A and B are shown apart, each in its own frame.
Chain A
Amino acid sequence: MDYDPMAMDDPESLGPVVKVSESGKVRVKFELSNAELAFANSLRRVMLAEIPTIAIDLVEIEENSTVLADEFIAHRLGLIPLNASGAENLLYSRDCDCDEYCENCSVRLTLHAKCTGDEIMSVCARDLVPSSERINQTLGSPIITDEAGMGSLILKLRPGQSIKLQCIAKKGIAKEHAKWAPSAAIGFEYDPHNKLHHIDLWYEQDPKAEWPPSEYADWEEPPQEGEPFDYDAVANRFYFNVETSGSMPPQEIITEGIKVLQTKLAGLIHELSDEGDGDYNGPRSPEFGGGGVDGGWQDQGYTTPYGNNAGGSWSGPGGGTTPYGQTPYGGSGGWQ
């Protein structure tokens, strides 16, 4: 990644600064600084609720002699994390040309188990078999992270009981149902010493003694004894802890979250900039959805359809030299 050495002179002009303190298979911890609280919070909200993943959405039960009700099992199946790599190439079922679902907008998984032994048998996520007709061979595979390689427990069978069902996994976002959330949890904190008084700590005698210090307490200066309250202070450093549910690597949750938020903003720019063809209107009910609306937005890196913002520096709203200067929307001054 090349950057402009001139822009390095003034850290304020650089925009948000990121520091990654931990990066693993399950979680990424990073600090976002030089950004507004609103910016950090929007990123958090988008990572929680609006990144498309894949989850079981339809279950056709052929045979169920377990003690559990069909809908109970269906609910459990929905919550199983499935591999979402390549989900950007999967269509939303509502946008697809097919009648109900097809391999372009869904992944079929089958579960067929019977307890033939004498002991109670566990049916786990690994027993879900994805069909080979899918857009790539990882999309929709159940996530297995435990050492035994079983995956999450779906149900248990007593001797003689059996279960046979077909699942249709579809693409969706967590705003519709939490099963599509890519993140198991997102830790978000700022101001570890509570200098801004955004929280009012409950205490018996002394909040300092009774509340354990934050993991990030050492990263920021503790308040001085008798220091007056700073009325102008704003939150500036935000500590994220993004934990994946398994469906995508935690690093990807962050980059995808940024992309989704950019896409939303780009849609607004597009809508407001050219009155003529308001063809992009965001996701829409299937009556309107042109099949491949999605594909166009998912491009390499952080280029949006509104131009290439690979340049290192950005300028304030008054500057007019945003990376969008060259776009057809750049010079739109003429609404009435």
Chain B
Amino acid sequence: MASVNPQHNNAPECVWIILFETFLLGDGEKKITETVVTSMSNCSDFLLKKEDHTLGNLLSEYLKKADKVLFAAYKVAHPNVAEVLLRVQTDGTITPREAFISTCKLLVSQLGHTGREFQKELALRQFADQGDQGGAGDGL
């Protein structure tokens, strides 16, 4: 029995699971699952496991702004349970899943843009600082 996984054969395993459960998926857990909400049209619930407000708020705010999305909201039902429930309703021309994916893609590209923008501005700032201090400053 204990030879199944020599790394976790005794008590530390419990500590492990408790410690990591905020960001490590458990056995067979899926990062995201979609459940169609039958009581509303064109509506789905997305359950994000091991995620928090970082993604929940970001996605729900951007879904609200997206075209063809009628409703988007999220909740973290309990602060000790790392799960985000995100409900999305669309106008029917696209599925909630399509709306979700395109919002994710938009955010990835916006973040990429922000990163490039930051690098560009950083180079400018460092260049300007060098000019100001005759190259002697350490920028502290």
Contact = CB atoms under 8 A, between A and B. Distances in A.
A328 to B, nearest CB: 13
Interface in A1-54: 1, 14-26, 28, 30, 32, 35-39, 41-43, 45-46, 49-50
A25 B122 contact: no
Given A23-B129, A38-B57, A268 B104 contact: yes
A156 to B, nearest CB: 29
Contacts of A255: 115, 118-119
Contact of A281 (B31, B114, B117): B31
Interface string A152-176: 0000000000000000000001011
A23 B125 contact: yes
Interface residues of A, number: 78
A99 B22 contact: no
B57 A317 contact: no
A314 B113 contact: yes
A55 to B, nearest CB: 14
What secondary structure prevails in chain B residues at the interface with A? helix
B109 A335 contact: no
B106 A24 contact: no
Contacts of B118: 18, 20, 30, 254-255, 258
Nearest to B48: A268
Contacts, number: 215
Contact of B26 (A1, A41, A280, A285): A285
Interface string B6-32: 111000000001011011111101111
A237 interface: no
B140 interface: yes
A287 interface: yes
B66 A302 contact: no
B27 A302 contact: no
B37 interface: no
A16 B113 contact: yes
A323 interface: yes
A36 B34 contact: no
Nearest to A24: B139
Interface of A: 1, 14-26, 28, 30, 32, 35-39, 41-43, 45-46, 49-50, 94, 99-100, 173, 175-176, 251, 254-255, 258-259, 261-262, 264-269, 271-273, 278, 280-288, 302, 304, 306, 309, 312, 314, 316-318, 320, 322-324, 329, 332-333, 335
Interface of B: 5-8, 17, 19-20, 22-27, 29-32, 34, 48, 50-55, 57-58, 60-62, 65-68, 95, 97-122, 124-126, 129, 138-140
Please list the 6 inter-chain residue pairs (A to B) with the smallest Cβ-Cβ separation, ordered nearest first: A38-B61, A24-B139, A317-B102, A302-B112, A318-B67, A314-B109
Given A20-B118, A176-B22, A323-B105, 12 more contacts: A16-B113, A18-B121, A25-B140, A254-B115, A261-B54, A271-B32, A285-B17, A288-B27, A302-B116, A317-B68, A324-B109, A332-B98
